Structure 1
């Protein structure tokens, strides 16, 4: 499933995985979020509700460009740097390119839509 992210005038595309969690995320769209810096490796934002983690692995090792859901906190996380294995992290999909925009410091306004 193709996802579009409009981030401060730049349009990125992503491909969502074929999973219950990714489909549940897609059901929230369109969605406007403020992406905040976290741990110098990702941008995060709260979601309006928790997502299904049915059938998801216990954790993943995220790579730059991964679109993920951190189940313990119930937030969306977009990685702009590779990171170590994290329990509770569920991959929703990946950016098709343009991860550099996520490296801008400070909050970013983003709209997600199919």
Structure 2
């Protein structure tokens, strides 16, 4: 499934992975979240509910990853890399931004992000 993330004038296109967690995330769309900055590497936002488990937990990330952090329950979008690993219980990758994730650097602090499915 293809999705679009919009923050101000910034539009990022992405593809969701084919796993149970990503499919459950897709069922919440469209969604507008207040996303805060964390460690100058990611924007994260609190989901209205926990997602179904089913994706493979990871302890590393790539720029452009859209991930689920189950203790939150939060999603995060990585726009930079600081070399640090992710603590337990890890993250589940929901999808990847095609290109331009670093555009999220321009938003100092919190930003409202709308996430929607696209045809």
Same fold (TM over 0.5): yes
TM, length-normalised to structure 1? 0.91
Q: Which residue of 2 aligns with 1:33?
A: 33
Q: Which residue of 2 aligns with 1:76?
A: 75
Gaps of 5+ in 1: none
TM, length-normalised to structure 2? 0.87
RMSD of aligned residue pairs (Cα, Å): 1.3
1:62, 1:84 within 8 Å by CA — same for their partners in 2? no
Hey, what's the Cα distance between the residues in 2 that align with 1:22 and 1:57? 11
Residues 9-46 of structure 1: CA distance to partner in whole angstroms, max 9, x if unpaired?
Answer: 22210010001011000000000011100112111000
Hey, what's the Cα distance between the residues in 1 that align with 2:98 and 2:25? 18
Hey, what's the Cα distance between the residues in 2 that align with 1:20 and 1:41? 26
1:67 aligns with 2:70: no
Paired residues, number? 113
Measured after TM superposition, the shift of residue 106 of structure 1 is 1.5
2:80, 2:102 within 8 Å by CA — same for their partners in 1? no
SS in 2 for 1:67: strand
